[in-house]
């Protein structure tokens, strides 16, 4: 029989071992019970609050003085049931659900899912070149906007206000690009199975290049404020330590593992959407701490700008090229336009569908209401999101709706490193460690 006694829970012996039942109690009795324990332990809840812990994340801390002896993550407060909802929508409608998981990286959610659907359909090689170039450009802009939130909120949580203002200033410029191209700032559902929702509006390339020039100049503000700043260094150097062995054991990816010196980036080792045709560097550090992860995100901004410039050059020679597969049984029948009532199908497009033939009208109706069929099978496709490997396991039973879609979400996996990073450190250092992981709870609690 176990001799271990938990001051917070009664216990009973079963064939599976000792089972503890948390019974609660008022504060006075809890304090008395803590005093009776061999070691004085204090249990503190950190969160769930927003935005100080990157969304509704609850950390249960066990403390000895100000030293953290144990950390447990409590998740599920933002649960949306997105993966289950997808099973009741057709293949194209599912895009509007997955885009809302990691709400700071919507285009990556869409890309991982759509690449999986395209692989099941066998049309990966049929996606037009222009659609792939637009996907890459939009994803790199999204990487910048996501890193801006990570860097800005991370700095704010450690007491630096100005970097937050600068980061959100730059993020607004990226969201303006998203709105100009897709009509929405976030959760765009812009990447669709077979291509993208619509072609670039007139003047897009010029606007993109002007924004890149502006961002490259403005990014220097945060570098000047934080890189080498003595207060910043004291709060980040040696904090949240996690080496390569620990990171690989826990399945950690993204900037956290690249801060251990391993250049793990799916854009290089497992290219998708034509990433093999772009020149960029995989940024690494060897500090294994919060400061290294901060430097990686700072330096990745320039690499994203390099890729976007290459995309803009490619787009100049792709004027008028298609952005959706030619197969009309898959291509979503949309010619979007801005009208008095917002964005929707252009009137000319509707007149064409209504007036061409009865067959085209029936075809349009069936594709929109029922959707296309995807051959039975299952695939796993992954992209390099701002937080690491974002994978989609897509299963089809041959119908017009997904049988199952499950995501390998980097925030969920990376959060498992919280205990390894924080136990043995001070309470104040937990904030920096969690911020350096950059978890987005919309992805964790999908």
Please check whether residues 238 and 204 belong to one and the same domain.
Answer: yes
306 belongs to a structural domain: yes
Mean pLDDT on 238-257: 90
pLDDT of residue 4: 53
Q: Tell me what pLDDT residue 2 has.
A: 47
pLDDT given at position 314 = 92
- Specify whether 69 is located in the same domain as 130: no
Residue 1 has pLDDT above 50, yes or no: no
Looking at the structure, tell me whether residues 27 and 86 fall in a common domain: no
Q: In this predicted structure, what is the pLDDT of residue 28?
A: 61
Nearest to 400 by CA among 421, 374, 379: 374
Asked if residue 91 and residue 57 are part of one domain, the reply reads no
Average pLDDT value for the chain? 85
Strand positions, DSSP E, 102-153: none
* Model pLDDT for residues 85-118, shown as the tens digit of each residue: 999 998 988 999 999 998 899 999 999 999 999 9
Question: Which one of 54, 74, 94 terminates a domain?
Answer: 74
- Give per-residue pLDDT as tens, 290-324: 999 999 999 999 999 999 999 999 998 888 888 88
User: pTM here?
Assistant: 0.86
Q: Are β-strands 377-385 and 195-196 bridged in parallel, bridged antiparallel, or unpaired?
A: unpaired
Q: What average pLDDT does the segment 33-54 reach?
A: 67
Flag whether 337 is in a domain.
no
pLDDT digits (tens, 9 = 90+) for 412-435: 999 999 888 888 888 888 988 988
Tokens of 131: 């659609």
In the prediction, which pLDDT does 337 show?
A: 64
Q: Which of 122, 89, 107, 87 is nearest to 395 (CA)?
A: 87
CA angle 200, 273, 383 (to 5 degrees): 115
The mean per-residue pLDDT over the stretch 203-223 comes to 90
Q: What is the pLDDT of residue 341?
A: 61
Give domain status of residue 245, yes or no.
Answer: yes
Asked whether residue 119 carries a pLDDT value surpassing 90, the answer given is: yes
Domains in the chain, number? 2
CATH of the domain at 112: 1.10.645.10
pLDDT tens column, 139-175:
999 999 999 999 888 888 888 888 889 889 999 999 9
Find the distance separating the first CA and the last CA of the chain, reported in whole Å: 40
Do residues 62 and 138 both lie within one domain? no
Integer Cα distance of 222 and 230 in angstroms? 14
Instruction: State the CB neighbour count (10 A cutoff) for residue 375.
Output: 10
Distance CA 383, CA 363 (A): 33
Q: Is residue 107 within 8 Å of residue 196, measured between CB atoms? A: no
Final residue of a domain: which of 74, 106, 130? 74
What pLDDT is recorded for position 304? 94
Instruction: For residues 215 and 244, state if they share a domain.
Output: yes
Last residue in a domain, options 53, 74, 95: 74
pLDDT band at 438 (very low <50, low <70, confident <90, very high): confident
CA 81, 75, 264 angle in degrees (round to 5)? Answer: 90
Residues 103 and 232 in one domain: yes
> Who contacts 350 (Cβ-Cβ below 8 Å, separation ≥6)?
none
Mean pLDDT (whole number) for 33-60: 70
Band of pLDDT at residue 36, cut at 50, 70 and 90: low
Whether residues 320 and 283 fall in one domain: yes
Domain check: are 275 and 181 in the same one? yes
Query: How many Cβ atoms are within 10 Å of 156's Cβ, its own excluded?
Result: 19
Q: Domain containing 324: what range?
A: 82-330+372-444
- Is residue 1, in this structure, part of any structural domain at all? no
Give mean pLDDT, residues 173-189. Answer: 90
Q: Look at residue 360 and tell me if it is in a domain.
A: no
Q: Would you say residue 353 has pLDDT above 80?
A: no
- Does 28 map to a domain? yes
Residue 406 forms part of a structural domain: yes
229 and 266 belong to one structural domain: yes
Instruction: Return phi, psi of residue 338, to 5°.
Output: -85, 120
- Quote the CA–CA distance of 356 and 328 in Å, as a whole number: 15
Q: Is residue 98 within 8 Å of 391, Cβ to Cβ?
A: no
Q: Is the peptide bond before 68 cis (omega within 30 degrees of 0)?
A: no
Q: Determine the pLDDT at residue 71.
A: 86
Tell me, yes or no, whether 263 lies in a domain: yes
Enter the DSSP assignment of 200.
P
Q: Are strands 377-385 and 388-396 parallel, antiparallel or unpaired?
A: antiparallel
Q: How confident is the model at residue 222 (pLDDT cuts 50, 70, 90)?
A: confident
Rounded average pLDDT over 216-240: 84
CA pair distance 236, 323, nearest whole angstrom: 44
Query: Are residues 170 and 131 both part of a single domain?
Result: yes
pLDDT of residue 278: 93
Q: Which residue has the higher pLDDT, 42 or 142?
A: 142
Lowest mean pLDDT among 86-100, 148-162, 203-217, 340-354: 340-354
List the structure tokens of 180.
């100009």
- Residues 119, 18 share a domain: no
- Average pLDDT on 199-227 reads 88
Q: Average pLDDT for residues 383-404, to the nearest whole number? A: 93
């Amino acid at each position: 029989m176990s001799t271990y006694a938990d001051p917070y829970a009664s216990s009973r012996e079963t064939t599976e071992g000792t089972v503890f039942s948390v019974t609660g109690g008022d504060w006075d009795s809890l304090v008395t019970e803590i005093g009776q324990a061999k070691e004085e332990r204090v249990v503190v809840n950190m969160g769930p609050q927003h935005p100080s812990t990157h969304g509704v994340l609850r950390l249960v801390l066990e403390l000895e003085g100000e030293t953290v002896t144990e950390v447990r993550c409590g998740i599920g407060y933002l649960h949306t049931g997105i993966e289950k909802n997808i099973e009741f929508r057709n293949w194209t409608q599912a895009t509007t659900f997955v885009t809302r998981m990691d709400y700071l990286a919507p285009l990556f959610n869409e890309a991982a899912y759509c690449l999986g659907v395209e692989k099941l359909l066998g049309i990966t090689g049929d996606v037009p070149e222009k659609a792939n170039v637009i996907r890459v450009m939009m994803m790199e802009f999204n990487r910048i906007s996501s890193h801006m939130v990570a860097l800005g909120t991370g700095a704010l949580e450690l007491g630096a206000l100005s970097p937050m203002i600068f980061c959100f200033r730059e993020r607004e410029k990226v969201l303006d690009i998203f709105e100009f191209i897709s009509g929405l700032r976030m959760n765009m559902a812009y990447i669709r199975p077979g291509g993208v929702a619509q072609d670039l509006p007139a003047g897009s390339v010029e606007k993109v290049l002007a924004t890149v020039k502006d961002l490259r100049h403005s990014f220097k503000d945060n570098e000047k404020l934080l890189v080498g700043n003595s207060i910043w260094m004291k709060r980040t150097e040696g904090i949240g330590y996690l080496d390569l062995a620990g990171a690989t054991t826990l399945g950690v990816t993204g900037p956290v593992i690249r801060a251990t010196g391993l250049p793990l980036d799916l854009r290089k080792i497992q290219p998708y959407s034509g990433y093999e045709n772009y020149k960029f560097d995989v940024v690494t550090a060897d500090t294994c701490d919060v400061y290294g992860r901060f430097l990686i995100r700072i330096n990745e901004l320039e690499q994203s700008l390099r890729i976007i410039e290459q995309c803009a050059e490619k787009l100049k020679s792709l004027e008028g090229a298609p952005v959706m597969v030619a197969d009309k049984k898959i291509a979503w029948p949309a010619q979007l336009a801005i009208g008095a009532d917002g964005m929707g199908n252009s009137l000319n497009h509707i007149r064409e569908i209504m007036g061409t033939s009865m067959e085209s009208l029936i075809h349009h109706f069936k594709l929109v209401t029922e959707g296309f069929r995807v051959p039975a099978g299952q695939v796993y496709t992954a992209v390099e999101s701002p937080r690491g490997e974002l994978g989609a396991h897509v299963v089809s039973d041959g119908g017009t709706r997904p049988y199952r879609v499950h995501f390998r979400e980097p925030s969920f996996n990376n959060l498992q490193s919280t205990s390894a990073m924080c136990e043995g450190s001070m309470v104040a250092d937990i904030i920096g460690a969690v911020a350096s992981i950059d978890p987005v709870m919309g992805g964790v609690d999908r």
